[in-house]
């Protein structure tokens, strides 16, 4: 039995201290400040001496202040896993009174030092907390904030103390991993490679976010065909060559663009050009150099002296052989007419033998 007890104790210590102690001897601040601050300064909760505690000025319905906070700067951005708090215990006072003072507190993790910009990872209540308290508090940040309040007009459980609440924290142990991009109790398992910034949840390795082009708890799944980018929220263009899907990371068409389209994402229609990737310029004799972006056909006719679908044929008003002369019929063609119109009238030209 003694051996079993020793093993149990050792296992409990192993569980408690398996992760890195991120808060030991770090810098803490608090408000409202207790009048004898030298004895109850905020850093007392981080010295790993449970006989020294921090204390705030009293808050409550009969006090000047209705809320308090204490926060520790971990000195860098870390993956947090668990928080242990040792509240002050007075042997001469009923335990329920102390627990009622601390009841209802909240724990936040933040990348800034403002509670309003923080992530709530634990909210106490309605039962009273134990004086030796431990909770999972999984998050990513630099600051851990302890907050409590007693506001007028708010209904609280009957066991909560409402007046003269002195917050006394003897130890606050924030556990996690100093090493980045790892998880597990020994902080030695690499985060999945497609996690954004190689950051994952410390307890199971799931990614906080995925790199563009990936999805799933471990970011191991490519975006489905037709999707790309962050969280696979973007839709591929429909103008990739041969209707191929785009790259799941960038959204670009890896095989090039369909006929009539260009641009990094094949989102731009050809202008004064045509064909695959708009590589062919419109014929120089297309009127205004405008042509069909798919096949190069001139859209608004030809410049003076040229005709044909691509305006690549030259008109001649001379005799086309020694015995024939081409004479325009008496139709409505003048010097202002386009050669597109002229082409339309070609069948009505007369052959006259000289």
Span 16-178 CATH architecture: Sandwich (2.60)
Is the CB of residue 107 less than 8 Å from the CB of residue 122? yes
Domain boundaries, the chain: 16-178, 273-353
**What confidence tier does 330 reach under pLDDT thresholds 50, 70, 90?**
very low
Contacts of 18 by beta carbon, 8 Å cutoff, 6+ apart: 185, 186
Question: Comparing 157 with 348, which gets the higher pLDDT?
Answer: 157
Is the CB of residue 182 less than 8 Å from the CB of residue 189? yes
Does the pTM surpass 0.85? The reply is no
Question: Comparing 32 with 11, which gets the higher pLDDT?
Answer: 32
Question: Comparing 143 with 345, which gets the higher pLDDT?
Answer: 143
Per-residue pLDDT reduced to its tens digit, 28-46: 999 999 987 778 999 999 9
Per-residue pLDDT reduced to its tens digit, 185-203: 899 999 999 999 898 988 8
- The 10 Å CB-count burial string (b at 16+, else e) for 10-39 is eeeeeeeeebbbbbeebebbbebebeeeee
What tokens does 188 get? 């030695």
DSSP bridge pairs for 46: none
Percentage with pLDDT > 90 across the chain: 62
**What confidence tier does 5 reach under pLDDT thresholds 50, 70, 90?**
very low
Q: Indicate the average pLDDT of the chain.
A: 85
């Amino acid at each position: 039995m003694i051996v079993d007890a020793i093993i149990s104790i050792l296992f409990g210590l192993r569980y408690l201290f398996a992760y890195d102690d991120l808060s030991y001897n770090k810098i803490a601040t608090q408000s409202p400040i207790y009048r004898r601050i030298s004895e109850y300064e905020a850093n007392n909760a981080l010295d790993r001496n449970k006989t020294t505690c921090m204390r705030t000025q009293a808050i409550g319905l009969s006090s000047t202040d209705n809320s308090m906070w204490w926060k520790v700067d971990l000195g860098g951005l870390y993956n947090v896993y668990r928080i242990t708090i040792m509240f002050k215990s007075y042997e001469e006072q009923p335990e329920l009174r102390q627990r009622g003072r601390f009841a209802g507190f909240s724990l936040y993790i933040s990348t800034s030092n403002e509670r309003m910009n923080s992530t709530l990872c634990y909210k106490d209540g309605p039962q009273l907390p134990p004086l030796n308290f431990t909770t999972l508090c999984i998050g990513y940040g630099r600051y851990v904030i302890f907050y409590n309040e007693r506001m007028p007009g708010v209904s609280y459980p009957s066991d909560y103390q409402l007046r003269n609440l002195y917050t006394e924290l003897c130890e606050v142990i924030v556990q996690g991993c100093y090493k980045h991009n790892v998880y597990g109790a020994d902080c030695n398992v690499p985060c999945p490679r497609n996690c954004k910034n190689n950051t994952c949840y410390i307890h199971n390795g799931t990614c906080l976010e995925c790199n563009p082009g990936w999805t799933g708890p471990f970011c191991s799944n490519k975006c489905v065909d037709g999707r790309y980018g962050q969280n696979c929220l973007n839709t591929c263009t429909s103008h990739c060559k041969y209707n191929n899907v785009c790259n799941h990371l960038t959204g670009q068409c890896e095989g090039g663009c369909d006929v009539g389209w260009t641009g990094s994402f094949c989102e731009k229609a050809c202008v004064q050009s045509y064909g695959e990737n708009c590589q062919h310029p419109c014929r120089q004799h297309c009127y205004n150099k405008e042509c069909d972006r798919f096949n190069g056909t001139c859209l608004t006719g030809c410049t003076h002296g040229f005709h044909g679908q691509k305006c690549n044929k030259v008109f001649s008003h001379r005799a086309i052989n020694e015995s024939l002369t081409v004479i325009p019929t008496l139709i409505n063609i003048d010097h202002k007419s386009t050669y597109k119109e002229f082409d339309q009238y070609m069948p009505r030209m007369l052959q006259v033998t000289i």
